[in-house]
Amino acid sequence: MHDKFGRSTLWIDFVALAQSLRPRSHIVAVKYFTAPVLGDAGAASRQAYHQAAVAARHTNVFSVTQGRYQAKTVTCFNCRATRTVHEEKETDVNIAVALVGDAAANAMDSALIISADSDLAPAVRAAKQFRPHMFIGAAFPPKRFSSELKQLMPASSQIGRDKIRQALLPESFTVGATTYTRPPKWR
């Protein structure tokens, strides 16, 4: 979302987005898979605050599973200079494990994957083996697409700007004694 629409869309309510994408479904769980931001304490703080805000608003529905980053040295093909980059690890595996586990446990009637990572295709196939008639769809984030996932899940679609804007959290809201306010950098 940030790549396509900028920071103003980062204050998103993932449960509201899921409900807007599956309006006739009863949402029992929204599982968010990510990794903590590295190298920017402010960004990491905003990320954790946002996740806490969504969790407070949707107690017992929203959960976060954290992956990690791993350092990797890359070499420039032209000049042979090396640099260290950080690669997100475990996120796709965590999604796959949850999808297959929930299908095997008969914990859902349908699933919506918000991703365009084709590494999830084996998990979709495995989940369908456990539950052949279960609906599994993909909603591709802005500027992302996977033809492999689209073939596996023909009811897939692209998430547009309007869906994202309609699913933003209020500028400020209170849950219990805590008030959550959109970070100024995300306005």
Say which CATH number the domain at 112 has.
3.40.50.1010
Contacts of 177 (CB under 8 A, 6+ apart): none
Structure tokens at 91: 């996120």
Mean pLDDT of 146-173: 94
Q: How many helices (H) and strands (E) does the chain have?
A: 7, 9
- Position 100 scores a pLDDT of 98
pLDDT in tens, 94-115: 999 999 999 999 999 999 999 9
Please state, in angstroms and rounded to a whole number, the distance separating the CA atoms of residues 33 and 154. Answer: 23
Angle at 84 between CA 71 and CA 8, to 5 degrees: 80
> Lowest mean pLDDT: which of 43-57, 91-105, 147-161?
147-161
Reply yes or no on whether the pLDDT at 1 is more than 80: no
Residue at token pair 């690669």: 87
Average pLDDT, the chain: 94
- Position 87 scores a pLDDT of 87
Range of the domain at 137: 2-186
pLDDT in tens, 110-140: 999 999 999 999 999 999 999 999 999 999 9
What is the number of domains present in the chain? Answer: 1
Asked whether the whole model's pTM tops 0.85, one would answer yes
In sequence order, what E strands does the chain have?
Answer: 30-34, 62-66, 68-75, 82-89, 110-113, 135-140, 157-158, 172-175, 178-181
